[in-house]
Amino acid sequence: MSGSRLTARRSRHAAVGAAAVLWAVGTALVQSPAAQADPDLVMTGAGDRASAEKTIAIGYVEKQYACTPDLTANLEAITWDNPPGFVPGKGGTGMITDADDRLGGQFAAQYVAGRWEISYLYC
């Protein structure tokens, strides 16, 4: 094979590889944070706010202990981002406030097939 054909073939392969990388990066950017990784906690429950917040609180204590075993979690509040806030049967994103301001952080909650999938977006 001549040098110019080999160079053209390599250039084509490089272009295809670069396009694949750009597609993968673009796809990752379009997805929500919760969709990009496995949830930290999956728990069956109703699609209402009380069920979501109970699930978030249960998982928060476990997640915080895994992140900072020397500190004790003391959840004070769960607040939902506005807009849209909490959406029944879907979920939402928000912030966990702990009595110790070194703890707590953002979360994402999705209601999928009768269960809550919670991701804690810190640690």
Are residues 26 and 44 part of one domain?
no
82 phi/psi in degrees, rounded to 5: -120, 140
Q: What is the tally of structural domains in the chain?
A: 2
pLDDT tens digits for 1-59?
Answer: 655 554 444 544 444 344 333 333 333 333 344 444 688 878 888 899 999 999 999 99
* Structure tokens belonging to residue 78: 């769960």
Which domain covers residue 25, as residue numbers? Answer: 1-30
Query: Tens of pLDDT along 67-86?
Result: 999 999 999 999 999 988 99
Residues 49, 109 within the same domain: yes
**Cα–Cα distance for residue pair 48/84, rounded to 1 Å:** 15
Q: How far apart are CA 107 and CA 88, in angstroms?
A: 16
**Sole residue written with tokens 């994103």:** 93
Distance (Å, rounded) from C-alpha 56 to C-alpha 83? 19
Task: Name the phi and psi angles at 30, rounded to 5.
Answer: -75, -30
